[in-house]
Amino acid sequence: MSAAATISKSWEPDFTQKHNRLIAIILGLLPALAPWISSMGLLPQLVILAGFVVLIGLPHGALDITLLRGARIGPLGTATALIAYTILAALVVAGFSHFPTAGLFLFLVVAWIHFGLGDTENLRGWHRAGECFARGGLSIAGPLTFHFEETLDLFTRLGGPASGVRWAALGHYFTLFASPVWLGMGLLMVALRLRAAGSVSGSSASRMTHFLAAWEMIFLALLFWLWPPLAAFTIYFCLVHSVRHLIQLASARQPLAFRLAIRWLWRESWPITGLTLILGAVVVWFWDGSSSPDTLLLRLVFVGLAALTMPHMILTFWWHHCGEPVPGDFCARSKTAAAAPPSR
């Protein structure tokens, strides 16, 4: 291999493979901590979840604005898109306030689809549809299947006491119909991945990819079975889903320079993350102060995630549909930095 070819090699494939292997190791070890994690109260779980969301979850959504700049839709188009983004997020918050059951149900459906699509980008056709259903349901169907009463209590806290009866009825139909289908689809997708991993026709890299995907599905399901729902969700959302999205955006911006990619991630994410936290504090100020600290923190985290997930899903889908244009700069300190092309 020539020096030029070595220099032009993208860092993303190797880094993604290392991340997948690291996740496999972590998921293989975490079930052993189930007795200790299960003894934690709701408030400590929420504090840990909120910390990880601020450090990893919010930054992965804060970079949405860079997708608009990279699409070269002009100042007017960017401003229009940002206004639409903000209005949609505000509508979600209002929906949770006035129609909490419907708002939470819609968020769960959207999150199921979004997580599933994000974890199956290397697949096509019916295989992607099946694995999207199976993997996207891990953080939604998993808690309802393995910890029904605890998950129902969380939903009731989010929607208020009046929503408890409606969630009990919805949960009853879920356990009768949707849960068996999800479990069956998950087993089928794991079997297909393991069969591909054992095939002699594929390359060693391809077989390893299939094996790691099967391992991840198995041990994430085990984690959602053994751990409390919020603790398991913290691992999946922050260490698996969000990190993968950050890797994808960083490699799209700086495919050849890892350090520049990390520097870009930090520069572009922290101002929007900070602004989001300030807006969250303003929203909490107007909420009912009679709620307990754990309920208040639960609502803050998940209503915030719901408000950002709706426009985030639409924007990332549009970005993929446009051929994944190079993300732009929004928080660059100078015109020179904003105009500098990404390393190729």
- Cβ-contact 214, 194 below 8 angstroms: yes
Each residue's pLDDT, cut to its tens digit, for the chain (344 residues) gives 444 444 568 899 999 999 999 999 999 999 999 999 999 999 999 999 999 999 999 888 888 888 887 777 777 888 888 899 889 988 998 888 889 888 899 999 999 999 999 899 888 899 999 999 999 999 999 999 999 999 999 999 888 877 888 888 888 889 899 999 999 999 999 999 999 999 878 788 899 999 999 999 999 999 999 999 999 999 999 999 999 999 999 998 999 999 999 999 999 888 888 888 888 788 777 766 667 888 888 988 998 898 888 889 888 888 877 777 888 887 765 444 444 445 44
What whole-number distance in Å separates Cα of residue 68 and Cα of residue 73? 7
| Beta carbons of 300 and 43 less than 8 angstroms apart | no
Residue 35 neighbours by CB under 8 Å, 6+ apart: none
Q: What is the pTM of this model?
A: 0.89
CA-based torsion, 284, 287, 289, 290: positive or negative: negative
Rounded CA separation 78/71 (Å): 9
Tell me what pLDDT residue 5 has. 43
d(CA 118, CA 121): 6
Q: Which residues contact 78 (CB under 8 A, 6 or more apart)?
A: 68, 69
Backbone angles phi, psi at 253, to 5 degrees: -80, -50
- Output DSSP code: residue 11: S
Residue 147's pLDDT is 95
The HSE-up count of residue 7 (CA atoms within 13 Å, CB side) is: 5
The residue written with tokens 């998940």 in the block is: 302
